[in-house]
Amino acid sequence: MKPFFRLAAATIALAFAAGTQAQDVQERTIKFGHLNNTDHPVSLGVKRFAELLAAKSGGKLKVQEFPSNQLGNEMQQQSALQGGVQEMSAPATTSLAGIVKEFGLVDFPFSVATYQQADALLDGPLGQALIARLPEKGLVALGYWDLGFRNVTNSRRAISKVEDFDGLKLRVIPNPVFLDTFKAFKANPVPMPFAELYGALESKAVDGQENPFAVILSNKFFEVNKFVSATNHVYAANIVLVSKRFWDRLSPTEQRLMHEAANEARTYQRQTSRAAAAKAVEELKAKGMQYNEVPAAEQARMAQIAKPVTDKFAASYDPAIVKLYNDELARLRK
């Protein structure tokens, strides 16, 4: 812990101990699972959240991190949260589309072009409207973290135009929006759990995959793929989830401290994640990957090809949420 942060933590802890809220906070250990490695920005965000929460609660609320799928894949951890046997996780928002289909909107390709647009969309009315649908599914969300823009790697060729996808066997998240988008690009999308991906790339069961740069680096995909192309086709976010069964056992003070720690950790996590993405590109090139950027005009072509896909899915979502999404995007793009 850095000195200035240690001092701040000590100050918060003293203020807590002196306050009347101390009796409202019990000793608790919170199991926080995720699929990323310990050098990934999601893991760094979990650590910062743990530090903040411990400081704010006078050491009573302790977070125990379980990285790298230790508690199961994202869907298994989601079930564990709903069942109350795990307290927290930070999956990609994509994993929630199975229980609240409107989360699919976050995965619509080429919807946002900058981090600022992404933050405004998720922290604003659209992101909050999606969060409001989770408690009835047994989950509570404390906000969105950065995962980053998703980019394609593969072992066959650079992707510089949409035709380069033709026939490529690409692992995608088991999500209908991703599947249909890459089918529209004439790729051969293969849904599979993340934990199986490296082996599939190594054995050439798939040619490539798509993920943010920091994930590509952290999971050593440079060992099994030669090309990395900055398609920036989807902005991906993680969402900080709490089991509703656990949340409902917390006092209002404990809930407030959880919210405060999550909000403060979010700023740090996003900064860390975005710095890591820029650094990861240079490291991937140093590891021998061939890197290329996709021209804006070509991204616009891809967006047009994907539009019938997003229109189809939007037609099956709650019209009020879709209108909010479109209104927010129109406002952000001005």
The 10s digit of each residue's pLDDT in 317-329 is 999 999 999 999 9
Beta strands at 28-33 and 61-66: parallel, antiparallel or unpaired: parallel
Beta strands at 227-243 and 188-191: parallel, antiparallel or unpaired: unpaired
> In terms of C-beta distances under 8 Å and separation of at least 24 residues, what long-range contacts does 325-330 make, across chains too?
325/105, 325/126, 328/120, 328/121, 328/124, 328/125, 328/126, 329/111, 329/112, 329/121
Which helix H or strand E contains 55, and what residues bound it? helix 41-56
| Model pLDDT, residue 146 | 96
Contacts of 171 (CB under 8 A, 6+ apart): 189, 190, 191, 192, 197, 200, 201, 206, 208, 209, 210
Average pLDDT of the segment spanning 142-160: 97
How confident is the model over 221-274, as pLDDT tens digits? Answer: 999 999 999 999 999 999 999 999 999 999 999 999 999 999 999 999 999 999
Tokens of 60: 């009573």
pTM score of the predicted model: 0.87
* CA separation for the pair 120, 145 (Å, rounded): 12
Average pLDDT of the segment spanning 287-293: 97
How confident is the model over 5-48, as pLDDT tens digits? Answer: 555 555 555 455 445 466 799 999 999 999 998 988 999 999 99
Domains in the chain with CATH codes: 26-333 (3.40.190.170)
Query: What is the rounded radius of gyration, in angstroms, for the C-alpha atoms of the chain?
Result: 20
Tokens of 268: 């740090």
How confident is the model over 189-201, as pLDDT tens digits? Answer: 999 988 899 999 9
Per-residue pLDDT at 308 exceeds 70: yes
Torsion of CA 12, 17, 21, 26, to 10 degrees: 100
Bridge partners, residue 150, by sequence: 234
